[in-house]
Amino acid sequence: MKVTPYQDERSKKEQVAGMFDNIAPRYDFLNRFLSAGIDQGWRKKTVKAVQAHGGENLLDVATGTGDLAIALAKSGFQVTGLDLSHGMLEVGREKVKSKNLEDKVKMVQGDSENLPFESDHFDLMTAAFGVRNFENLEKGLSEMHRTLKPNGMMAILEFSQPEAFPFKQVYNFYFKNILPTLGKALSKDPKAYGYLHDSVQAFPYGDEFKDVLEKIGFKEVKTKPLTMGIASLYTGIK
């Protein structure tokens, strides 16, 4: 069954864009607050992974308010950030401007499942907490693969599921009960954090997601669980 934010008749893509437009003004605050800042450490690890591979011209898909794009630009990359949500991009553009990074980060509205770029174009490709929201996961990943240059690296940061006892049980209680209640009160979108929980539960992680990436054509796929497996960093080469 497809997990969507609002369970109405609109496509998942329309619902996801609408949800992120709704929560955009509070997205950064909620991320920092609800993850106790851990999310920024995960983004730093993603930057390090692509830095180790090398390259210059990078596409950050589902860039949102641009936290990863900005961290990448500060590390010297020339970044294009693409996102469906106008609201998220507006917040991102303001941040890029206030950090004087306009010559390093270009933000464009677009759909990861139909990327407006030619094939074999980018040296590197990243996505943080984005691919889980795609309407058609394999289509989105195939587009990322298509627009990446041969031997280029993609790095995907996404939520996964902790497995170790008792961390798993404690975390699941927080994630299922406390987080949606806090998110509902703070984000002004009653559905957004319930969707976060449900979409993570339904999303492949670990070896299952590695298999998907290999099926798309990525080679040398590696998985690195972060913070007891709350998130994972997947890398692969075209």
Ligand X SMILES: C[S@@+](CC[C@H](N)C(=O)[O-])C[C@H]1O[C@@H](n2cnc3c(N)ncnc32)[C@H](O)[C@@H]1O
* Residue number with the smallest Cβ distance to ligand X: 64
> For binding to ligand X (CB under 6 A), which residues are involved?
13, 16-17, 20, 62-64, 67-68, 82-85, 88, 111-113, 128-130, 133-134, 140
CB of 165 to ligand X, least distance (A): 28
Of all helices (H) and strands (E), which one includes residue 152? strand 148-159
**Alpha-carbon gap, residue 8 to 13, rounded angstroms:** 12
Judged by beta carbon, residue 100 or residue 114, the one nearer ligand X is: 114
Q: How far apart are CA 7 and CA 79, in angstroms?
A: 34
Q: How far is the CB of 153 from ligand X (least distance, A)?
A: 17
For 156, list phi and psi in degrees, rounded to 5: -115, 125
User: In one letter, which amino acid is 76?
Assistant: G
Q: H helices of 54-85, where?
A: 67-74
> What size, in residues, is the chain?
238
Q: Closest separation between CB of residue 227 and ligand X, Å?
A: 15
Q: Which is nearer to ligand X, 118 or 166 (CB)?
A: 118
Give the position of tokens 């920024």. Answer: 40
Kindly tell me which of 27 and 218 has the beta carbon lying closer to ligand X. Answer: 27
**Helix or strand or coil: residue 82?**
strand
CB of 109 to ligand X, least distance (A): 8
Identity of the residue, 117 or 207, whose beta carbon is nearer to ligand X in the bound complex? 117
